[in-house]
Structure 1
């Protein structure tokens, strides 16, 4: 704490951490932001307090004087104290159960799949391709995956995105056509009434 701060130092502004969100993400954000300032280890330790709020700030103030010798030491203690706020990673096996619902659109299923994949530890892209193929609902897209299996997970996502866009366009087209069909009988009846009045 005795380390003088450089006069031209501009502290990076990042979201304050109060103790309830992901502590590892906060450390990563702070490291990335402070890296741009070319600060010393001691300055990194001093500046960390300014990124804390609430119970996290309370924790910092309880650290015994002289107990921190480096930022690695500080971040280790911080992560240890707020370990319960780090989201637990899921096992890859959970992907096997992620099936597309009977009425779920491909767009919604893709969003659900990507969100789940981010939470999985050691995500296996190669194994994800056959799992995705077996979990997707039967239909033109499933048939296409079986007939032409994608070679990579990236290729699978690319094809799935294109099919999802086509599915969405098809759904909108059907709605438009249904709207026109519903409108047509009303217009026919209106025309008949107008015609009857003219003859009456």
Structure 2
């Protein structure tokens, strides 16, 4: 019996069922309390993260909203400017007066628009037209190219005039060359005529060189001057006795020989005067 008691003393005695039942709720309560605290802490963390994310999303949405409003304001400004802008008829252009064949004519390779002062209806239209024609002739431009290039040499009232011509009414540059100076006739400078040139005479107190200077100036202002008329006017205007006698004794064959004889006489007079 003593040995059995000693052996039993070495074995731990299990708790009484009633005592186990008493300790179990306490442990469960402690565990439940810890779990609840963890849950509340996680809940606060999630709630804090949600607030921060919500705050960030609110800022992004606000920025986007501001950008949209800014774009709407810009669109409204553009629309207001469009409504206030003057209306233009874009079919009202200077090339409508020309035929389709002229408008379809391609520019030649290497063509360059010559530098010419734009015409605004205040100066002589014939001077502008002749200057343009001479520059186009130098480039070897065709009739159609001259028609296409001419509008760019106009401005102001002159450009408006060309724009208002009947569509497809101009078939070549000849027609334009007649219509243009005719419309701006009031701006034309009165040209000298052949009668004006025939009236130029050498004055008694003026040298033959002075007469030549006046004669050439008048001749340049006579449009379509005939060379025969020019020859007769120059010969008849000379009053220098020696030169006139020379021309009568040996009549020059043409205007160029007449000029040459007059130049020789002028040089001879200078030499004699110098001696």
Verify same fold: TM over 0.5.
Answer: yes
Shift of the alpha carbon at 1:111? 1.8
CA contact (8 A) 1:49 1:60 kept: yes
Q: TM-score, normalised by structure 1?
A: 0.63
In structure 2, what is the equivalent of residue 109 of structure 1?
A: 211
The count of residues paired between Structure 1 and Structure 2 equals: 170
Distance 1:45-1:127 versus aligned 2 partners, 3 A rule: closer
Q: Is 1:29–2:131 an aligned residue pair?
A: yes
In structure 2, what is the equivalent of residue 151 of structure 1?
A: 253
Bigger Cα displacement from structure 2, 96-105 vs 68-77: 68-77
Instruction: List gaps (5 residues or longer) in structure 2.
Output: 1-94, 97-102
| CA RMSD across the alignment | 3.4
Describe how 1:41-120 pairs up with structure 2 within 5 A: 41=144, 43-84=145-186, 85=188, 87-91=190-194, 93-118=195-220, 119=222
Distance in 1 of aligned mates of 2:252 and 2:170: 52
Q: TM-score, normalised by structure 2?
A: 0.49
Distance 1:120-1:33 versus aligned 2 partners, 3 A rule: closer
Instruction: List gaps (5 residues or longer) in structure 1.
Output: 175-200
* Greater relative contact order, per chain length (Cα 8 Å cut-off, separation 6+): 1
Distance 1:53-1:110 versus aligned 2 partners, 3 A rule: same
Distance in 1 of aligned mates of 2:230 and 2:152: 44
Distance in 2 of aligned mates of 1:11 and 1:56: 19
